[in-house]
Amino acid sequence: MLLKRIAHVAGVLLLLPLVVTCNRPQSLLEEVQRQGELRMLTRNAATTYYEGPNGLTGLEYELAKGFADELGVRLKVLTASNVSEVLERLALGEAHFAAAGLTVTEPRQIWARFTPPYHTITEQLVYRLGNPRPNDLGDLQGLLEVVAQSSHLDRLHNLKQQYPSLNWIENTQLESEELLTLVSERLIDYTVADSSEVALNRRYYPELRVAFDISEPQSLAWAFPKFQDPSLYNAATAYFDKIKASGRLAQLLEQTYGHVQEFDYVGTRMYMRHVQQRLPKYRELFEEHAAKNGLDWRLLAAVAYQESHWNPKAVSPTGVRGMMMLTQATARQLGIEKRTDPTQSVAGGALYIRQLLSRVPERIELPDRLWLALAAYNVGFGHLEDARIITQKRGGNPDRWGDVKENLPLLRKKAWYKSTKHGYARGNEALTYVENIRSYYDILVWLTDQERTAPPQAPGMLTVATPAL
């Protein structure tokens, strides 16, 4: 029904270019630049567009903002409650394009032009830990609920020929992320979601499990109505070619998904338990010293958890100790007398993070600058610089965390570390260290967002955009 409505609207709008004067009409690209505004339709979701600690963010938003900047215009974001509404409003001409995590499908290509893909996902059947894992779609024992008018629904219709007993409920009100929540809360038994959405959300709902993929890899791309002239679409295509070649696209994908690929169920459950049992005792301490050093307290807390699991008496075999696991030399440099005192340890750790941030070149933008500083917290600033030099030698960008993290493990290999200034280092541990902190931080942001009573941030506080919504 939706596709019929879209086809009808698109057919009518295709006639509009015939109603012009004898003068050459402006192309759509020229019109956008004349008006100074680019209109995007999207969804409010962790994988697309949301308000983070630093303001508006999300993969689709960052990509679209870059496109608007390329054109020299401002970006106007229009949000829809679900994919069905995105497609219908785009067909009605309310926006120039849709950037909403849209899968490229044959029915959609009838009326829409899709840009080159910017990401690839698979569609996955999701259930909850504790329930029987189905072997295939003919083995479902319970309620399967999916987003109405989604590509997931199209997939299920095709698969029903192979599994005649397959049935489902179409939800016209909720998005995939909300259906994942219902699975976690045992309100429904199964849903279908994109692999990218599952990867982000299982950190907040660690009982979610993937039974199996129900599709081959699928492309995500922007959609432009075919009733428009192709000038703006062509500009978008050129834009994607440019950011792929420059590495900007890879940087944004790493920023969104780079730290969520490896999922540790036991570790996540333990973290959630410690958030409830240990964090309340130290939260004010993190808030106080984060504010003094211009940091987000949730980031400082995430570092402390990675270091000690919020245990002020923690001691490592190498002699570092306390909540922030400071070495004796670093503690002396920071003026910390008792490393196992939580107040002194957190104060010293916050100051040390701030000092490391000041040593990372200012030209490096957030969040890369922060992740590089945290890697230095773990492996030492000299070893971080060695890894950045190796990155540059191998053709990567030493100012991007996504490139540097691929080369940190090389500090363990003699073929590489023998030519560095500071020699051998356990760079692979620094990589895991930073990626864990990113996930702990995301979860804390998500939890405090649920509270709706998060304390106000101090002016100039350093925060990092997170897909935790």
Known catalytic residues are 307
Which CA distances in Å does 19 have to 91, 125, 157, 244, 425?
19, 48, 40, 38, 69
Q: What is the DSSP string of 421-450?
A: SS----HHHHHHHHHHHHHHHHHHHHHHHH
C-alpha to C-alpha distance for 78 and 20, rounded to whole angstroms: 28
Asked whether the beta carbons of 339 and 319 are under 8 A apart, the reply is: no
Q: What is the DSSP letter of 37?
A: E
Matching residue, tokens 């916050």: 350
Q: Which long-range contacts (CB under 8 A, 24 or more apart) does 320-324 make?
A: 323/282, 323/349, 324/348, 324/349, 324/352
Residue with tokens 């490896």, as numbered in its chain: 262
**And the tokens for 275?**
């958030």
Name every residue whose Cβ is closer than 8 Å to that of residue 364 and which is 6 or more positions away in sequence. Answer: 372, 399
Structure tokens at 271: 């973290």
- In the three-class reduction of DSSP (H, G, I as helix; E, B as strand; rest coil), residue 143 is classed as coil
The answer to whether residues 83 and 172 touch, using CB atoms and an 8 Å cutoff, is no
Classify residue 362 by burial, with Cβ atoms within 10 Å: 0-12, 13-18, 19+: exposed
d(CA 365, CA 461): 15
Which amino acid type is present at position 127? Y
Please state, in angstroms and rounded to a whole number, the distance separating the CA atoms of residues 209 and 391: 36
Question: Could you give the dihedral angle defined by the CA atoms of residues 197, 79, 106 and 13, in that order, rounded to the nearest 10 degrees?
Answer: 180
